[in-house]
Amino acid sequence: MDDAGSTVCLAPNATLTVYLKAPAGESSWSVPVASDRHVLASVPNGALTLPIGVTGAAFRAGRRGVASISAVRSPCTIDSINTCDTTHSWRARVVVS
């Protein structure tokens, strides 16, 4: 993904929506998860009816701090994300200030 490794800055209470598209015919991305729910909480978003192959998630910025959002595709898992190649792992850094 072109934006993997990016840093995003948010104000408290701002919402960030993440969309990840898997290559045609390949496994989909896992649901993106945040590393610290106090800094970045997953929130429901009824607008996330997505096409096949696209995975999405919405997050609300909470307290000031830094969190990462991560997702993986098979054969990787969240537990093995640090050893996965960039075609199977995605991570972004979010700074809430």
Helix, strand, coil % in the chain, rounded to nearest 5: 5, 40, 50
- Overall size of the chain counted in residues: 97
For the domain covering 7-96, report its CATH number: 2.60.40
Domain residue ranges in the chain: 7-96
pLDDT per position in the chain (97 positions), as tens? Answer: 467 778 999 999 999 999 999 988 889 999 999 999 999 999 987 766 788 889 999 999 999 999 999 999 998 888 888 888 888 999 999 999 9
Give the pLDDT score at 2: 60
For residues 96 and 67, the answer to whether their CB atoms sit within 8 Å is yes
Give the pLDDT score at 68: 96
91 vs 72: CA distance, rounded Å: 9
Give the pLDDT score at 92: 94
